[in-house]
Structure 1
Amino acid sequence: MNGFHGEYEATVDAKGRFLLPGGLKKQLPEGEGRFILSRGFEKCLTLYPIKSWELIIAKISQLNDFDPKVRQFRRQFLGGATEIELDNAGRMLLPASLKEYAGLGKDIVLAAALDRFEIWDAGKYKQLFDDFSPEAFSELAKDVMTNGNEKFPG
């Protein structure tokens, strides 16, 4: 997998379901319909295709149980993680507790994050970009993409 790309809008119905956008679905491996939905690092949700989740779990399982930071990380990261599947109509059900955590309303955005997607309330997602100036983005890119003399092509 080379990584997912794009931003996709969707609408949550009264039962907490949304239709997985076609552009996102095209990027999934053939027949992939199982996912893990969990709390994101910010106030969003993270949608992992099952294969991406399995790679993360393999890394987490290697961590030292005797380290209290590891135990706290596992609680925070794995707490609330829920397996979900597409229904016959191509919809996903958002568990109420996770929907509440992320403050999701009717309109949501699914944003690519390499091997997973973040699910944001559409208004909050827009605000992320409205509050971030081009200058701040340039500075962030410099900080993240350069390491010593190494230069990112671009």
Structure 2
Amino acid sequence: MINFIGTYDCKADTKGRVMLPVSLKHQMSPVLSDGFVIKRSVFQPCLELYPMKEWNLLMEKMNKKNRFLKKNNDFIRRFSAGVKVVEIDATGRLLIPKNLMDIAKISKDVVLSSAINIVEIWDKDSYEKVLEDTAEDFAALAEEVMGGDDDDVS
């Protein structure tokens, strides 16, 4: 499993190409040749970039869902809507498909934010707004999500 670290401000050109920061490209080097999958986020107005190995692990989990249950079938359809395979080119650029740029309202200023094993791709203004909106409740959220048994935390 790969764990990405960092938040990076970038620019997208008119064709949707984003130059990856050197630090992030170095972190991606073990998985660069495998390619990536890009998709819309389930919960936020951003995109998610999955290394192919991480995507395949997720698809194994999804493939265990009973597709004869309507809710599972509906979820899989919606989850995979707009999914694209992408690569990082030789110069370190990621081409974000136009329809996904539109969905995430990405224009020029972009934030690439590590989210453990994936990278979130945000319009900078949307990213700043989400951080601002969740700042007040973050302590309570941290306690709820991470606060359980002391043995579970390093």
TM-score (norm 1): 0.90
The answer to whether structure 1 residue 106 and structure 2 residue 113 are counterparts is no
Q: Specify the code of the residue in structure 2 equivalent to 1:116.
A: I
Distance between the aligned counterparts of 2:81 and 2:112, measured in 1? 21
RMSD: 1.6
Match of 1:81 in 2: 83
Change (3 A) 1:68 1:31: closer
Match of 1:64 in 2: 66
Distance between the aligned counterparts of 2:2 and 2:90, measured in 1? 28
- Deviating beyond 4 angstroms after TM superposition, the runs of 4 or more aligned structure 1 residues are none
Match of 1:137 in 2: 138
For structure 1, which segment, 94-103 or 125-134, has the greater mean C-alpha deviation from structure 2 after superposition?
125-134
Count of residues in Structure 1 that have an aligned counterpart in Structure 2: 151
Match of 1:27 in 2: 27
Gaps of 5+ in 1: none
Distance between the aligned counterparts of 1:5 and 1:32, measured in 2? 16
Distance between the aligned counterparts of 1:131 and 1:31, measured in 2? 33
Report the identity percentage. 36
TM-score (norm 2): 0.90
Gaps of 5+ in 2: none
Distance between the aligned counterparts of 1:35 and 1:137, measured in 2? 30
From the two aligned structures, give the one with the greater helix fraction.
Answer: 2
Match of 2:15 in 1: 15
